[in-house]
């Protein structure tokens, strides 16, 4: 295996989800028949329309070089950063997990959890 091509995320309203992902800062790539692709590192995520309620128990963890600038950007865009290790508590700054990760999480419009993680040096 050489890498991940796509992570497919099933969405009730891909247009609304597209707007949310752009607001967070994901790099938009293309659209085809209601599906939207965004660049994540060397791979992509695809927003795929569905009429079925998806299982949203997955957590997607993305590594960032510095979590604070992204956190500040999230606050400026009036998104709600959360600490999922503490019952979805709303946070005012990134948290440092006992294992050393500095992070915050967001829940997207379809309920998926996205963690933005800065690894320790």
DSSP per-residue letters across 50-104: -SSPPP---EEEEE-S-HHHHHHHHHHTT---EEGGGTSEE-SS-EE-TTS-EEE
CATH number at 17 reads 3.10.180.10
Quick check: 54 pLDDT over 70?
no
Domain match, 37 and 61 both: no
Map residue 21 onto helix, strand or coil: helix
pTM of the model: 0.85
Domain match, 92 and 43 both: no
Domain match, 68 and 106 both: yes
Domain match, 76 and 120 both: yes
Domain match, 79 and 42 both: no
Quick check: 55 pLDDT over 70?
no
**Burial of 107 from C-beta contacts in 10 A (0-12 / 13-18 / 19+):** middle
- Number of folded domains in the chain? 2
Quick check: 16 pLDDT over 90?
yes
Domain match, 31 and 67 both: no
Domain match, 40 and 66 both: no
Question: What pLDDT does 39 receive?
Answer: 96
Question: What pLDDT does 57 receive?
Answer: 72
The domain boundary residue, chosen from 35, 52, 69:
52
Range of the domain at 6: 1-52
Residue with more model confidence, 32 or 53: 32
Question: What pLDDT does 56 receive?
Answer: 67
Domain match, 59 and 27 both: no
Distances in Å between the alpha carbon of 73 and those of 1, 86, 111? 34, 22, 21
CATH number at 85 reads 3.30.720.110
Domain match, 46 and 71 both: no
Question: What pLDDT does 77 receive?
Answer: 96
Between strands 6-11 and 27-32, the pairing is: unpaired
Between strands 89-90 and 27-32, the pairing is: unpaired
Residue with more model confidence, 53 or 100: 100
For 97, the token pair is 């997990």
Reported as a pLDDT band with limits 50, 70 and 90, residue 21 is: very high
Quick check: 75 pLDDT over 90?
yes
């Amino acid at each position: 295996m050489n890498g991940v091509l796509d992570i497919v995320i099933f969405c009730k309203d891909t247009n609304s989800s597209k707007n949310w992902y752009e607001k967070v800062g994901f790099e938009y790539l293309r659209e085809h028949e209601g599906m939207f692709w965004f660049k994540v590192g060397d791979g992509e995520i695809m927003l795929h329309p569905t009429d079925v309620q998806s299982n949203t128990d997955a957590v997607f963890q993305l590594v960032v070089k510095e979590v604070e600038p992204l956190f500040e950007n999230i606050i400026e865009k009036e998104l709600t950063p959360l600490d999922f290790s503490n019952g979805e508590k709303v946070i005012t700054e990134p948290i440092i997990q006992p294992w050393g990760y500095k992070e915050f999480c967001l829940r997207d419009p379809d309920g998926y959890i996205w963690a933005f993680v800065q690894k320790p040096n």
